[in-house]
Amino acid sequence: MKARPPFTIGHAEVAPGSRLTVDLPVSVLSDHTPVTMSAHVVHGRRDGPVIFVSGGVHGNEVIGVEIVRRLLRTPNLAVLKGTLIAVPIVNAFGFISRSRYLPDRRDLNRVFPGSEHGSLASRLAHLFMTEIVARSDLGIDLHSAAIHRTNFPQIRIPPGNPRARDLAGVFGPPIVMRSALREGSLRSAAMEMGKDVLLYEAGEGLRFDELSVRAGLAGILRVMRHMGMLPAKGISKPKTPPQFCSSSKWLRAPMGGLLRVYKADGGLVRQGELMGSVSDPFGEEDQEILAPFDGLIVGRAMMPVVNEGDAVFNLGSIRSFERAGDTVEDLSTQLEDDPMFDEDEII
């Protein structure tokens, strides 16, 4: 049998059956400190697809970093077919400063595909596209909500992409959201290159959440198994198909004051049901927040202090109230009890 060629990335070559962390130069700081984007490549002995998994495109979204860390410790990778490129921290600048942005105050996920000679953000986006996306058959990009907000675990897919929807079902999160591509985003630039990227959203900025981490790791392993990269042993299929939300709407604070939340993220609400209320600090006025339609809470605010007009609940539309309840409960219970999550392995 002809030996598989090494995998080339940057100036490094990764031999088949080996793994290597490769530092890709990004920039030099004002004090002459070099900054790199580090990619860990696991190059299987046998042929197969190339998949990338990325976290930290927004530097304060640390959930993805933890998911990638656990992924790289998975014993299944010893028999990997194909190649895994894992980039736990794309935006090292933001990660160090615990910020969503880069030092030039640009949002990295608004400047793809970037330019080799553009701004700092544009150069980093260009590096990621040329060194990571261009070498891959599929990507999984890991995100969380912003600081003081949280998202229930979900995969977001663009409209009119059957392959992405099928892979989202394989991933098996509690929720699959239809979400239009935004200009300058990694997903949009990758699609222009002919590559699909699954966008995973879960948890809160600068916080770990065990359910969100488990849902992300389980989903990545399921997709890799589905693509023939990993054996089925130890990788469980989702008990039920995810709940599909074709759209969502942010409900906003009707007044400024103190927010009291009566429904948690992932919760189901009927039209007209009380979801929360806002009161002034003196207790003289109180305004309720009612569900405008039957829906599933896909995200919500975490801060109890709100101004009038602040987004407080992200309510996803659903087709069947009863089916949605069964789906979310079954998948959440599975993530809590799944034997693939051995405590000795994940700590």
The angle subtended at Cα 237 by Cα 232 and Cα 241, nearest 5°, is 150
- Give residue-wise pLDDT tens across range 236-273: 999 888 999 999 999 999 999 999 999 999 999 999 99
pTM passes above 0.85:
yes
Q: At what angle do helices 162-171 and 210-226 cross, to 10 degrees?
A: 120
Inform me whether the pLDDT recorded for 347 exceeds 70.
no
Q: How confident is the model at residue 346 (pLDDT cuts 50, 70, 90)?
A: very low
Q: How confident is the model at residue 336 (pLDDT cuts 50, 70, 90)?
A: confident
Inform me whether the pLDDT recorded for 343 exceeds 90.
no
- Give residue-wise pLDDT tens across range 116-139: 999 999 999 999 999 999 999 999
Span 44-60, average pLDDT:
97
**Average pLDDT of every residue of the chain:** 93
The residue with tokens 């299929």 is: 237
User: Which amino acid belongs to residue 239?
Assistant: K
* CATH topology classification for 248-333: OB fold (Dihydrolipoamide Acetyltransferase, E2P) (2.40.50)
- Give residue-wise pLDDT tens across range 28-50: 888 898 889 999 999 999 999 99
Please, are residues 49 and 175 in contact by the beta-carbon 8 Å criterion?
no
Inform me whether the pLDDT recorded for 9 exceeds 90.
yes
Span 49-71, average pLDDT:
98
Inform me whether the pLDDT recorded for 337 exceeds 80.
no
User: In this structure, what token pair is assigned to residue 108?
Assistant: 């990295």
Domain residue spans of the chain: 7-238, 248-333
pLDDT the model gives residue 3:
82
70 contact partners, CB below 8 Å, separation of at least 6: 213, 217, 345, 346
Closest alpha carbon to 82 in 37, 38, 52, 127: 52
CATH 3.40.630.10 fits 7-238, yes or no: yes
pLDDT the model gives residue 121:
95
